[in-house]
Chains A and B, each alone.
Chain A
Amino acid sequence: MPVIRIDGQDYEVKEGDNLLQACLGLGLDLPYFCWHPAMGSIGACRQCAVVQYQNAEDQRGRLVMSCMTPVSDGAIFSLAGDKAATFRQAIIESLMTNHPHDCPVCAEGGECHLQDMTVMVGHRDRHYRGLKRTHRNQNLGPLIQHEMNRCIACYRCTRYYRDYAGGTDLAAMAAHNHVYFGRHEDGVLESEFAGNLVEVCPTGVFTDKPLQQEYTRKWDLQSAPSLCTGCAVGCNTLAGERYGKLKRIHNRYNSEVNGYFLCDRGRFGASFVNHKQRLDWAGRRSANGRFDAIDSDQALQHLAAACQRGGLAGIGSPRASVEANFLLRTLVGADNYSPGFSAAEQPLVELALSLQQQTRALIPSIKQIESADAVFILGEDVTNTAPRIALALRQSVRNIAYTMAAQLRLLPWQDAAVRNLAQEQRNPLFIAALADTRLDDVAAATLHLAPADIARLGHAVAARIRTARAHSPATLSPNKVSPNKVPPNEVMDEALQQQADTIASALLDAKRPLLLSGTGCGSAAVMAAAADIAAALGSPAAATVTKGNVNNSDSDSDSDAENSSTTASKVDSDAAGPAVMLCLAVPEANSLGQALLTGPSAPTLEALTVRAVGGEIQTLLVLENDLYRRGPAADIERLLQHVAEIIVIDSLDNPTLSASTLALPAASFAESEGTLVSMEGRAQRHFPVFLPAKERRASWQWLLACLQAISHPRTTDLQHFDDVTNACASDIAALANITKAAPDHLFRNAGLAKVPRQPHRYSGRTAMGANVSVHEPKQAADEDSALAFSMEGVNQFQPGALLPFVWAPGWNSNQSLHKFQTEVGGPLKGGTAGAKLLQQTGAADDHAAPLSPSAFKPVTGQWLLVPRYKIFGSEELSAHSPAIAQLLLPAYLEITAADAERLQVDEGDGVQVMDSASGATLATLEVRINDTMADGCAGYSVGHSAHQGSIFNLVAGTGVALQKADPWQRRTQSAPGADLIATDSPTNSNTAAPGGPNHV
């Protein structure tokens, strides 16, 4: 490792780092703006200047930009040197000439990188007395506020939005000191990852718009380490609260999972927590059908009494914590417990789990996905089902740029040079999907096929890989599996065969090929095909094989430290063969946890229904699950009608709650502790950010209280949340590691104190509740976790799972993160949060390849229903967030233009969807024309509210007939935003053109 001298002291630094990241990694304070740990250096802002000396004799030195200067052994620098310090002050002063100094009304204030840097360089007196340039702000939609006057032109926003996230509708406009960062015209930012601008922009230009409705400064937020419940990726979040309301979600860095970024569903979708339809009190349905509010003790008595009556069954939830589900299952008995999936979904999730358990391929973390050098996506529209992965895939296709750069001895952080070098060259990404996806722009090829054909293509790829391997003596074929079988008398058409050739050879050439699929196209065959390719490609070189067990269960922090680098987190595969990765997306935050809890062949909803109809079930306990989202309304009603007592524990009002006889108010994820298992089998913990109001309680608390009220033997000695986690870990072998997801409630930081949820500048804590009582309230105690509802404690060096906020002296903004990392872009000092659970046997890879399904044959007058997911609208809870609610579309059906013509409908017309077998109308939806839909398929918008009927009447894979709905009231304008389009006539044209007109 090179040794460099900084201000007279020698430091060991990492080869290939730039001086700025080396300094930050060493804990030295050095100001910067345009550099970003995930995006590297461009040397634009000149803020990071330091003095470099030629040699020990050199007394003058010269200014260099530290972010553009690679460290080299023996180099001598000075950060404190006058020349550099004065220069850095002058830079801030020049940036400030146009800055409005409006910190008191700026949403960034108190966590502003510009404020921090201004103080850090010691610049105090502004000498400029002239006019400041001003800009017109844009309306960027309900999520992001725009205030351009505060811009310092560091270009981070466009570098993030365009270069990193692939957005096309944000650009740098104009030039000189009136450069403008915005859209071509007002309108909602199109990228699903736009919200990260809030954290990427070092000033108050892009800020969290919903937060401004009821604003709270960072120092006044009470925060806790939390998790996004938006999908199964399991991004780590920092959730902040004030006055009993969840104010905002920020990214919580996890080097293996979300890194520095979230998706907009995660960032803006959590405010359902503050929804006015939250349940505050327990309710008992009275004889007249109305609900009477009852207090918790009464509710518990009813609950306990019902649980003792016999005929008990329970439905858990893939969106509830492992602990709550475990307790419900304990209460009702494993045979009477359904995990709460829909009938169609349950086998798919179980399959996803078993494929992952039985493959030898690596189940990748997001960081590992970023390192893939060839990707084949089968059927999954990840941007809409597991959004954060789409952002990772956009980085993976850039790995070729780093390879090319390495050949020219360019370093990966030299961002502009590396991008320029590769231009449009990308690693191969192949997408076989039902229709277009948001990753098509970086794909080498996209194919739009029905699920069965996607599976056939997959198996064809696997067969070609096996053939190639068999004929190549150089590569060891790890498995002697017979070639894939195709149903007799079926030949794939030639174009598809060629595609299979191309994909197979790209995957064969790759060192780190990634197969990506999931439950998102509703087809088991598609997932099996993905796993088949993984098997054909062979075992991961990186995994260590011990006694037939593949162990890549956790990349512990030591290996992390070796693998991480700032921009290109490439984990080099060794010579033994390719490191094959298999990633399978599942629908919800704890879907995989449910599959692990119950194991295969748990009772389905259908099975419970049959038993209910047979009179076997008197009491049904439903945990955080709106059953009406789990299947056709008629089926759900059949179940509920045959049960006398329906007890529902949930947080937000929904149809299942309305059908209950006893409703118990549940605390949301932000008011409770829980473990969730992400799609890669990573158990992670969320902690209460604030105490649940009114009579709300965590579901596990309701259930534990009930278990104890009926003196259930398993729970007599359970008291804390940790006890429940331990009980679950010891009862369920597959979940044994969940205890490692986070430290228990006995943990004390540095052996001393709990971790504070409140920053030490938290204000008003004695006065906040003065409208209720003027007496200073007692500090709330947290018996269940190692976090405190307090300012006192130590927020430093603790395990990553217990990081409630990032702050360091002099670093009030989120840029203080580097003080918590072992090195820039590396794991957290206290260790990476979460524990991986999956035990892989690799068994499947040695079995015969599964049979390819028959080709899909479209039938005139009949369509195959296929699911289409939307980042906003397909997920239940986030759709209740007011900001996201503004972006929701009414339920729709996507068909091709030819099909629309056949049905004589236009975009925006209504269409009736009818079961082809029974002829019954399932739902009436709005027509959307999408010419990329696979032939013979009709895509329905999963989870959206339909005009008539329910979208949940539609089940992927059924054949339907379609018919124009008449009469029909159009819901969306025919040409959205038509009034925003300017005309060519000069008289009324002066509206848009930000920056442009200023030239004169």
Chain B
Amino acid sequence: MQSPLIPNLSDQEISAIDNEIAHAPCRAAVAIDALKIVQSHRGWVSDASLQAIARHLHMSAAELDGIATFYNLIFRRPVGEQVILLCNSITCWIKGASQIQQQISARLHIGLGETSADNQYTLLPVTCLGACDRAPVMLVGEQLHTHLDDAALELIFRSREEAEE
């Protein structure tokens, strides 16, 4: 049973989801897209958001949650402003991804799966970003960074800090 307390989706979210539904054989078929759309607006998918999406797609919350939790990149817990996806699969690992991770952790005071105190960054491992020829690599938000080393990291975070100020 749906509680009246579940917040509605925003008009923007609804129109984006409905746009997907228009191209799909049935409402439930757009479940993944709908989750991505809501996540792009809210940063993550809370229980309440999930229930609202489920209601909009005429699915049960359990069914949608099964889909949401299956995918690593649908966030069911809050994340920082930027999500760092650091590749740790074979090529990047050979080229020193572990050291890169230590560097990042030391700089932002977070381990894998954690969010920095200022809520700026969440650090997550990922298996392959499709840029093995430029390993080691990571994605910060939507920006791909390649050939990572100490200097590159310094540059990336410095310029981001400056951009903020």
A residues at B contact (CB < 8 Å): 168-175, 180, 183-185, 975-978, 981-984, 986, 989-997, 999-1000
Contacts and interface: CB of A to CB of B under 8 A. Distances in A.
Given A184-B50, A982-B48, A171 B6 contact: no
B125 interface: yes
Nearest to B25: A423
**Most A CB atoms within 10 A — which of B42, B48, B70?**
B70
B23 interface: no
B141 interface: no
A359 to B, nearest CB: 40
9 nearest interchain CB pairs? A1000-B113, A996-B76, A986-B78, A168-B60, A171-B66, A184-B61, A171-B62, A982-B47, A996-B69
B69 A993 contact: yes
Contacts of A976: 1
B57 to A, nearest CB: 13
**Most A CB atoms within 10 A — which of B46, B51, B66?**
B66
B37 interface: no
B143 interface: no
Given A975-B3, A981-B3, A999 B62 contact: no
A133 to B, nearest CB: 14
A180 B65 CA distance: 11
Contacts of B44: 986
A999 B47 contact: no
7 contacts: A170-B62, A171-B63, A185-B47, A185-B61, A981-B5, A984-B42, A984-B48
A984 B4 CA distance: 14
A174 B49 contact: no
A989 B78 contact: yes
A983 B48 contact: yes
Nearest to A168: B60
A993 B7 CA distance: 18
Given A975-B5, A990-B77, A996 B68 contact: yes
Given A993-B47, A1000-B112, A1000-B113, A984 B66 contact: no
A995 B46 contact: no
Given A168-B60, A984-B48, 18 more contacts: A169-B60, A171-B62, A184-B51, A184-B60, A184-B64, A184-B65, A975-B3, A981-B5, A981-B48, A984-B7, A989-B46, A989-B47, A992-B47, A996-B65, A996-B68, A996-B69, A996-B76, A1000-B124
Given A981-B3, A996-B77, A183 B113 contact: no
A206 to B, nearest CB: 15
A975 B72 contact: no
A173 B66 contact: yes
Contacts of B125: 1000
A666 B65 CA distance: 50
A975 B4 contact: yes
B49 A173 contact: no
Nearest to A161: B62
Given A174-B70, A184-B62, A982-B48, A989 B3 contact: no
B48 A993 contact: no
A986 B78 CA distance: 6
A169 B62 contact: yes
Nearest to B43: A986
A992 B45 CA distance: 12
A993 B50 CA distance: 10
Nearest to A175: B70
B47 A981 contact: yes
Contact of A984 (B46, B64, B112, B124): B46
A740 B49 CA distance: 60
Contacts of A172: 66
A184 B62 CA distance: 5
Contacts of B76: 993, 996-997
Given A184-B65, A989-B47, A1000-B113, A978 B77 contact: no
B146 to A, nearest CB: 23
**Most A CB atoms within 10 A — which of B4, B47, B48, B60?**
B47
Contacts of A977: 3
A978 B6 CA distance: 10
Contact of A999 (B60, B61, B63, B72): B72
Contacts of B70: 173-175
A995 B1 CA distance: 22
Nearest to B111: A1000
A439 to B, nearest CB: 16
Contacts of B72: 999
Contacts of B42: 984
Interface string B1-41: 10111110000000000000000000000000000000000
B77 A989 contact: yes
B77 to A, nearest CB: 5
Nearest to A991: B47
A981 B7 CA distance: 10
Contacts of A978: 3, 5
Nearest to A985: B46
**Most A CB atoms within 10 A — which of B44, B46, B69, B77?**
B69
A93 to B, nearest CB: 26
B131 to A, nearest CB: 21
Nearest to B52: A984
Interface string B97-116: 00000000000000011000
Contacts of A997: 76-77
A631 to B, nearest CB: 34
B163 to A, nearest CB: 24
A194 to B, nearest CB: 13
Contacts of A180: 69
Contacts of B63: 168, 171
A978 B47 CA distance: 13
Nearest to B65: A184
A156 to B, nearest CB: 16
Contacts of B66: 171-173
Contacts of B62: 168-171, 183-184
Nearest to A181: B66
A190 to B, nearest CB: 9
A232 to B, nearest CB: 29
A976 B4 CA distance: 10
B23 to A, nearest CB: 18
A511 B50 CA distance: 44
Nearest to B72: A999
B65 A171 contact: yes
Contacts of B60: 168-169, 171, 184
A837 to B, nearest CB: 42
A17 to B, nearest CB: 32
B117 to A, nearest CB: 14
A923 to B, nearest CB: 26
A344 to B, nearest CB: 32
A170 B65 CA distance: 10
A183 B50 CA distance: 13
A828 B6 CA distance: 51
A994 to B, nearest CB: 8
A707 B114 CA distance: 80
Contact of A981 (B6, B69, B77, B124): B6
A1000 B72 CA distance: 8
A999 B63 CA distance: 18
Nearest to B77: A997
Contacts of A170: 62
Contacts of B50: 184
A744 to B, nearest CB: 50
A838 B62 CA distance: 45
Contacts of B69: 173-175, 180, 993-996, 999
Contacts of A996: 65, 68-69, 76-77
Contacts of A986: 44, 46, 78
A184 B52 CA distance: 13
Contacts of B64: 184
A185 B49 CA distance: 14
Interface string B71-88: 010001110000000000
A991 B66 CA distance: 17
A977 B6 CA distance: 12
